[in-house]
Amino acid sequence: MKPAAALLALLLLAGCSKGDDLQPYAVVRRADVWQAVIRDNDRGRLARLSDAWTEAQADIAAAGATADLAALGPVADPTLASPAPLPAAGAFQCRIIRLGWRQGSVRLAPPVQAEAWAPCTLAADGILLRLETAPGVQRFAGTLYPDVDRLVFLGSVQLAGEPGRLRYGEDRDRDQLGVLTTLAPGHWRLALPWPRWSARLVLIEIKAG
């Protein structure tokens, strides 16, 4: 059994032994599980999430595109957080937003790029959640691990027309990681720092319905 799976099983057994009525995603509330899954080289990338925000904002300011950033609304405020509940399994609407330019890349695209809203899903994966965005130029998919008042995302990205589905850890260049937080009731943001390709920061905005 893999370390992460073994740890998850132990946590489940520990919760069941107390005779509690288990609520979805309530047993795993510590960083142990995703810490057992994340690759060592990705720990620093995740820890530098605030740097990705800062550098993306600097790119946008330098390009004179701060109005475009403001037009995105609450999702573009890195300080915003709400005590409202984290999402549960269901059907949602998502839009993918790219901020800033990847270091060393040719700066041809605008520093703020927002795709149209499209259906996305959060599916129950045991006591965890699995996010999948709609097929497109890039399709993000991966697991969301509870970590106190946030969810940690470990997943991958699939390009248009590619068969199958990669999982986190199968291709380092495709691995995506980030943090999902609540902005308001029924409104969440998944922030993916340093996504390796076209931006410094990718945001996946998620809304109920």
Helices (H), 107-207: none
Structure confidence by residue, pLDDT tens digits, 20-67: 333 344 444 455 789 899 999 899 999 999 999 999 999 999 999 999
Q: What percentage of the chain has pLDDT greater than the value 70?
A: 83
CA distance 183 to 91: 18
Cα 39 to its chain centre, rounded Å, is 16
With a CB cutoff of 8 Å and minimum separation 6, the contacts of 122 are: 87, 88, 89, 90, 92, 129, 130, 131, 144, 206
Structure confidence by residue, pLDDT tens digits, 175-187: 999 999 999 999 9
pLDDT of residue 1: 43
Structure confidence by residue, pLDDT tens digits, 88-139: 999 999 999 999 998 766 667 899 999 999 999 999 988 899 999 998 888 9
CATH number of 41-208: 2.40.128
In the chain, ranges of CATH 2.40.128 domains: 41-208
pLDDT band at 148 (very low <50, low <70, confident <90, very high): confident
Residue 17 corresponds to which tokens in the numbers above? 């032994």
CA distance 163 to 31: 32
Sign of the four-CA dihedral 181, 52, 39, 176:
positive
